[in-house]
Chains A and B, each alone.
Chain A
Amino acid sequence: MSDGTVMVFLNGASVVVSAGSTVAAAMWNAGQPCRISVTGEVRTALCGMGICFECRALIDGRAHRRSCQVVVRDGMVVETQR
């Protein structure tokens, strides 16, 4: 989009976010967890700099991507990592 926003799909819902946002930030703003832990806890980003792997998500079909290190792109499909 030309107005400084892009459209992404977060867990099936289309969401308009600022261009340049990270996927982790977009997920938090939309109230979506990044991943479900191995014992079923809801997790979101912790370190924000690619070290803790808490923000792993399924991005454009690729599992276990660190969403804090990935910038949104128009049409990107993101799902909570389970």
Chain B
Amino acid sequence: MTQCDVLVVGAGPAGIAAATAAAISGRRVLLLDENPAPGGQIWRVGQPMPKGQAEGQTAKNQAIARLCACGASCLFGYSVYDAPSAGELRAICESGEAAAGPVPGDPHIVGLRYEKLILATGARERFLPFPGWTLPGVFGPGGLQALVKGGFNVAGQRIVVAGSGPLLLAVAAHLRGYGANVVCVAEQAPLAKMLPFAASLWSHPARILQGIQYRAALGTAPFHLGCWPVAALADEVSGKLTGVRLTNGKRTWTQHCDLLACGFHLVPNIELASLLGCAIQDGFVKVDHQQRTSLAHVYCAGEPTGIGGLGAALVQGEIAGLASAGKPTDSLQGRRLAERKFALKLEAAFRIRPELRSLARPDTLVCRCEDIPYAALEKRSGWIDAKLQTRCGMGPCQGRICGAATETLFGWKQTSVRPPLMPVPVSALVYPGLQPVSLKEHL
């Protein structure tokens, strides 16, 4: 069993800021992430970009340099799967160098005890079913970006980036940096909603500049607003993606492409908070101005408290880190409030339009683990009924993909979260002996 004062789960911007603030305040901090390196999704490290420097590198490098200097210990490649008792989490490493169990390659399990816990578990992409969305060659925008950083070759590939959210332009620019031919970007939100959002950015000049840079990186490729995919098309013989049918509500056309990156903004990762028993409000973890959840020893920062992007994550993380160490956070409250307002505008601007709820045809799969079509689900009375009668949500993703989809499609609310938080080898639930981790070992 490993003991620390402050345990931070998630090493994206919020978690890095939290761990750094708490460690500088003199606490023994352990920062844990399931990825092999810090950065989270937005600052994910990976294969170098051939064309120029990736955006946002300065902020990231600074944050990671501060993390390295602050004295916090880090444990990468570990996923939290259980919270067996108050003040204790259990995590597993299934791959990579750290998987040095009794038998090489066997999963490695650690028990972690904490005084204070900071949840910085980030967000995932929302996927909505449309005909063809299960074809190979269709990815989430953030998903494709992550795969590219993991060596996925997009050079010369014609890519449509579609869906919703500020991520679309960033991903498109990023893909171009790796040599992709981004043929268009389609944002479902209409101009009427985007204009007030853009206007509100006057107080965030850096964000305007970044937006302009992303747009410029697109070159001549069109950026369609109020435009969304209705079907992904494949060659009947080879099964290869050939294009995507796009619509603006009035006109529908075919855009040829080799890859489609499509995701509809973000869904917060609140499973661990739910398992611990933190109060959830409107789908987000409820926190006070100190980022404290309804549980006195548990804090939460970043996307799980409201989709607010990088700026919100950094300030909330710092507040959570300071508050967990008993330090004042007054000087940060102004920034926190401004980011809160920005998050509300973000939410209003990228709200899902109703047409997206009716893209699925009767035979379109909604649950990709169990291959459950829309027709089997539309007559069910709710999430539990659908699970029991159709197996929807019963696969290894535990409903993380189809649950977010059916919430948008049918308004179904997902129910209680139980361990394991993710599929783990059965032996991980027996754990003959937890392996200790030296707090400094993994720095």
Contacts and interface: CB of A to CB of B under 8 A. Distances in A.
Whether A and B touch directly in their complex, counting CB atoms under 8 A apart, is answered as yes
B95 A44 contact: no
B147 A52 contact: no
A60 interface: yes
B143 A47 contact: yes
B396 A56 contact: yes
A38 B397 contact: no
B328 interface: no
Contacts of A39: 371
Main secondary structure of the interface of B (DSSP, over half): loop
A33 to B, nearest CB: 6
A18 B140 CA distance: 23
A70 B105 CA distance: 12
A68 B95 CA distance: 11
B152 A28 contact: yes
A48 B94 contact: no
B169 interface: no
A39 B371 CA distance: 7
B152 A25 contact: yes
Given A25-B150, A29-B151, A43 B140 contact: no
Interface stretch (B131-139, B215-223, B273-281, B348-356): B131-139
Interface in B115-161: 124-125, 127, 134, 136-140, 142-148, 150-153
B166 interface: no
Interface string B143-186: 11111101111000000000000000000000000000000000
Given A37-B371, A42-B136, A47 B151 contact: no
Given A39-B371, A42-B136, A25 B147 contact: yes
Contacts, number: 116
Contacts of A54: 368
Interface residues of B, number: 42
Contacts of B369: 38, 53
Contacts of B101: none
Main secondary structure of the interface of A (DSSP, over half): loop
A10 interface: no
B124 A51 contact: yes
B96 interface: yes
Given A39-B371, A52-B397, A21 B146 contact: no
Nearest to A72: B151
A13 interface: no
Contacts of A71: 36, 95-96, 150
Interface in A29-50: 29, 33, 37-39, 41-50
Interface in A49-82: 49-54, 56, 60, 62, 64-65, 68-71
7 contacts: A37-B368, A38-B369, A42-B239, A43-B136, A45-B143, A46-B139, A48-B144
